[in-house]
Each structure stands twice: as structure tokens, then as C-alpha cells.
Chains A and B, each alone.
Chain A
Amino acid sequence: MSGPRDLEGTQPPLLYPPYQSTIRRAPAQPLIRLPEHLSALDEPVYGWWPLGATDNDLTRQHQDEPQGQRIIVAGRVLDEDGRAVPGALLEIWQANAAGRYRHANDDHPAPLDPNFTGAGRAITDADGRYEFTTIKPGAYPWRNHENAWRPAHIHFSVFGTSFRTRLVTQMYFPDDPMFPYDPIFQSIRDERARQRLVSRFDLGLTRPEWALGFSFDIVLRGEHATPFEGRV
């Protein structure tokens, strides 16, 4: 279903039949545009739990270190004008190195890792920066179609300044050979928008003798609707 929020293919449509779960779950009626002056968007979010010391280091949440390639994922949260969004809460979750989630409903026959939960949180600093240390997640099969595999990804949930900027998305890794076969990634028609979901290998972030670095900036929707034209 196309609507204003599709923004010329830079956001996913609600109905995308190659991703089968959308067929019975995508609203069929057109969305109703909510005029800006009728939506109080500046509501603050109260009562976040305080962050713990290892919340942004998923390799130090257990007795021993998890299996897998240690990585650093870092970047900035920006608004559509390129300004830093400080104080944004990021929550991430992911499969382990073998492609298995610590979740009762994940029945993929790959091993769980007793030293890896796969969940983390961080809050952006004054420059909008965040950083996580984790391990590279494995790809895993799902049953959307014959021989379907998800490219390796880390789920991100971001709270900006209001619920207009609320974002749940997934971060991918560069040059994943499964991109062409993944309907969730391919649901974004605009190539430049799709590339926003792909992290970049960053030698500057890479720590010698320790961990590979991947940079991933996140651009949140603005508080005010701006036309699609001329976006970069």
C-alpha cells in the first residue's frame, strides 16, 4: 500500500507480498494523514531504566566471552538536516555467531552460546554518537520461501525526540551476498535509501589486535514533514 510515508520508495510499503507475513497483516485501507497542528509530537519519554555498565558491550555480559568475530559498531544519530540527535536511546538485539536467537520460538538447529544474550542499549552523547561492542551475527534460515536466508543483521530500535521520529530498523553488513534474495531488504525500492541500512567497514574504528569496526549512522525523520525532492 503506497502512502505519503513511502516517500518515493525510501521507506518500505506496508503490503509487500514477497514478504509473506505482510499479506495478512498489512492494513488495506489508506492511512489517514494526521495534520501536524493536531498531533502533539513533543511529548517527552519518561522513566527509562538507567543504563548498566555492560549494556553497550555484548561481549561482557556473561562469565566468559562469546564465540564469534568481535566487532565494534558505532556511528551518529542525525536528523534529516544532518544535525546531531543527543540523548537518543538505542536498543539492539541480534542472533549469535551461529545465527541463533536467544528466543524460545527460534528453532533453527544451531547452537546457543551460553556467553551471549545478544541485547544491548546505549544513549547518544552530545554529538549524537553511540558505540556498541558485540560479535558479528550469523545468517539464519527462515521459512518465507524455499531456501530463504536472512542476511546477517543487527536489529536497532531508536527513540529520538518524539514518536514521530520513532524508528525500528535493521543494520546489515557490506556486500552481503544474500541481499538480492531478501525481501525485507528489497522492500526498500530506492537504492540510496537501501544503502542507509548497510554499515561500512571502518579501519579507523577498527581496534588493532582486538576488533573490526563498522560505522552505521542513523537518520531519523524530521519533526516537520519536508518534501522528498532533492534529498541526498
Chain B
Amino acid sequence: MTGGKPLIATPAQTVGPFFHFGLTREPRGRMVDAAPEGEMLRLSIRVFDGETQPVNDAMVELWHDGAFGRMPTGADGACEFEMRAPRPKQNPPQLPHTNVCLFARGLLRHVFTRMYFAHPAQLADDPVLALVAEDRRRTLLAEQDGSDPGRWTFEIHLQGTRETVFFDL
């Protein structure tokens, strides 16, 4: 059909501001896990634009270990998840992390990043973080609450001095 030549993939287009009734009518903040084991944690993700204003019309998707979650951000740019802690990866070894897809008005295609659950001192040990300039690695770290160890926060900055590292697949 294509004479052996690969097809051009369909281009992405922005999710726009009005996706909620189509994509997040049934919010999935509690991630379904194929193999439930490991501690439960609560995670709050906040998204900011280049002027550090909360992005209140974004959609965050999380993927790890066969589990999936998807939430819209609210007025404060935040969305909440409950999930099992991701497991460390093998072959080659990688620190525990969750894959993050971010969609929003103003993003013509979605962007992809990783959220790590690790101690800042460990970061050089991870082969993906090793690709990232040292002063930007911490943008990929979820932060554990000092008084409630089951609670984590993660900030995504689309631009600015704290711009999150985004990856190209």
C-alpha cells in the first residue's frame, strides 16, 4: 500500500481549553495498578507558565508500571493523584520514576517529562538524569513532605529559571 515507505504520522494539535467534558469527565486521580504492591502515596502536581502563573487548564497523565492516571488542573494549577510508589527499573538500573505527559492550551503538542522519587544525592546514578545538566536535574524530583512522608509535591514549570526538563522520545 505504501510501497515500503513509512507514512508521515498524523500531526498533533493542541488539546485546547475545552477538553474536560471529553477527557476528564471521570477523573482518574487514583491510579489503577496492574500489580498492587508497595506503599501508597499522595501526590500534588502544580503547573506554571513562563510568568509563574498557575496553568489552570492543563491535563496531566501519569504512566508507570502499567498504571495510568489522568487529571485536569484546577484554578491553582494543581491536580492530585494517589498511587503506588513506582518501582526502580532494571536493565539498565534507573531510579524510581513516573512518566508524565502534559497537555494544555498553548501546547501545540504535548510535552513529556519524568518525575523521580529519589534523594538528591542519588541523582548522578541514573542514566537518564546523567544526560541532564547537573543544575537542572532537581527540576525532575518530586519533593517529600517533611511532616507527612506519604505526601509528595511536584512542580512543572513550562519556562523560566526553574523550567522543567522535557524529553524528546
Contact = CB atoms under 8 A, between A and B. Distances in A.
Interface of A: 3-5, 7, 10-14, 16, 19, 21-29, 31-35, 37-41, 43-47, 49, 78, 80-82, 91-93, 95, 101-103, 105-106, 117-119, 153, 155, 157, 163-164, 166-170, 184-185, 187-188, 190, 192-194, 196-197, 218-222, 226, 230-232
B18 A106 contact: yes
Contact of A22 (B13, B16, B26, B108): B108
A47 B32 contact: yes
B132 interface: yes
A193 B106 contact: no
Contacts, number: 231
B121 interface: no
Given A28-B159, A155-B16, A231 B7 contact: yes
Given A82-B1, A103-B17, A220-B9, 13 more contacts: A11-B109, A34-B167, A35-B131, A38-B127, A46-B67, A81-B6, A93-B23, A155-B16, A166-B101, A167-B9, A193-B9, A196-B10, A231-B5
A43 B159 contact: no
Given A34-B169, A157-B23, A80 B18 contact: no
B51 interface: yes
Interface in B86-133: 89, 92, 94, 99, 101, 103-112, 127-128, 131-132
Given A26-B107, A91-B23, A218 B10 contact: yes
Prevailing SS type, chain A contact patch = loop
A141 to B, nearest CB: 14
B71 interface: no
Instruction: Among B55, B64, B108, find the residue whose CB has the most chain A CB atoms closer than 10 A.
Output: B108
Q: Please list the 10 inter-chain residue pairs (A to B) with the smallest Cβ-Cβ separation, ordered nearest first.
A: A93-B22, A21-B106, A47-B32, A25-B106, A12-B108, A31-B168, A170-B13, A119-B22, A103-B18, A24-B50
Contacts of A43: 63-66, 99
Q: What class of interface size applies to chain B in its complex with A?
A: 35 or more
Given A103-B21, A155-B15, A80 B6 contact: yes
A33 B167 contact: yes
Contacts of A26: 106-107, 158-159
A125 B12 CA distance: 23
Given A28-B159, A194-B11, A45 B68 contact: yes
13 contacts: A27-B158, A38-B127, A41-B169, A46-B32, A47-B68, A93-B18, A93-B22, A95-B18, A103-B18, A106-B18, A153-B13, A169-B11, A190-B8
